[in-house]
Chain A
Amino acid sequence: MFNVPFSLIFGLIFGFLWSVVIFSSFGVLIGYLGYQTFKENEYYIYYNLGFTKTNLIKKVWFLNLIISSFIFLIYILLRWNY
């Protein structure tokens, strides 16, 4: 919700690959700060389901890393073929 628009804007300014890099790194921090500021009470959903804040951040970071790697791989394959 916060990371995707931030990474896309970053990509529009500095290039597509940067948006992929930001999405799996600095963007996670932006997402955390955004959620912490605007949706802090929604953390109680996850707490009640047994996830701590640290668990969540690790999971989000890992997921974003996988998505970024996948997008990067597609980008490399497309560059390779054309």
Chain B
Amino acid sequence: MELLEITDLNKSYGKKVILKNISLECEIGEIIEIFGRNGAGKSTLLKLIFGTVKADSIHLKINSETISQKEIITSKKIAYLPQDTFLPKELKVRAIIPLFFPNGDEQNKIFYSPQISSFEKIKVGKLSLGQLRYLELLIIGNLNHPFLMLDEPFSMIEPIYKDVIKKLLLKLKESKGIILTDHYYNDVLQVTNKNFVIKDAKKNEIKTKKDLVKYKYLNSNE
């Protein structure tokens, strides 16, 4: 069982402490949610783990082997779904899939996934937000990386695609460890194994929805 361990994670911007002494463990078969108000440091946390934002300090281990931030991208152990779209708008969906999957069998896995045939001939720039997010998640999720960092996979998407994405996440967790952030807590709580909230730069465990109120992520009437 592959295990991602993050310890001693610290990040500040100037005098503002964003994340303080964060530790996190994620193994294959788990989906971990990180809640937090806007600006709490959720996206920064994922980028620090992926290695695209430099940490003040971080200790990463994959299967008990230490890996530096600089080695994460080239190791292909962690994939990252950014908050904003990253696929070229001018290319058709059918042209993008081979960029990520040169192998025919791997391409077929994507082409024959639910819904893809309905928009494979369309340019990325013409897809609905739901179609685009689903396509991005499908691509990132089918890479061989054992761990996924997903920044707001449910953001701004229509209800029909929320269910498709939830099913996809549950399927992906059979072979991957997933850490995600999102504000759609009702959808998120249906698929996660562990939940945390970042408050005042610290990580707090969430056991029930009431804890989200306790840590002032939700108002008591929500």
Contacts and interface: CB of A to CB of B under 8 A. Distances in A.
Contact of A52 (B73, B82, B145): B73
Contacts of A42: 86-88
Given A44-B80, A45-B99, A50 B86 contact: no
A48 B140 contact: yes
Contacts of B145: 48
Interface string A35-61: 000010111110111111001000000
Contact of A45 (B70, B74, B86): B86
Given A39-B88, A49-B76, 19 more contacts: A41-B82, A41-B84, A42-B87, A42-B88, A44-B80, A45-B86, A45-B88, A45-B100, A47-B50, A47-B52, A48-B79, A48-B80, A48-B140, A49-B143, A50-B73, A50-B74, A50-B75, A51-B74, A52-B73
Interface of B: 50, 52, 70, 73-76, 79-80, 82, 84-88, 99-100, 140, 143, 145
Nearest to A43: B86
Contact of B73 (A39, A41, A47): A47
- Lowest 4 A-B CB distances belong to which pairs? A44-B86, A41-B86, A50-B76, A44-B82
A55 B74 CA distance: 10
Contacts of B76: 49-50
Nearest to B136: A44
A49 B100 CA distance: 7
B84 A51 contact: no
Nearest to A49: B100
Q: Is the interface of A mostly helix, strand, loop or mixed?
A: helix
User: How many A residues are at the interface, by size bracket?
Assistant: 10 to 19
Contacts of A44: 80, 82, 86
Interface of A: 39, 41-45, 47-52, 55
B147 to A, nearest CB: 12
Contacts of B82: 41, 44
A44 B145 CA distance: 14
A55 B159 CA distance: 40
A55 B70 CA distance: 12
Contacts of A48: 79-80, 100, 140, 143, 145
Contacts of B75: 50
A45 B89 CA distance: 13
A52 B76 CA distance: 11
Nearest to A48: B79
A53 to B, nearest CB: 9
Contacts of A55: 74
22 contacts: A39-B88, A41-B82, A41-B84, A41-B86, A42-B88, A44-B86, A45-B86, A45-B88, A47-B50, A47-B73, A48-B79, A48-B80, A48-B100, A48-B140, A48-B143, A48-B145, A49-B143, A50-B74, A50-B75, A50-B76, A52-B74, A55-B74
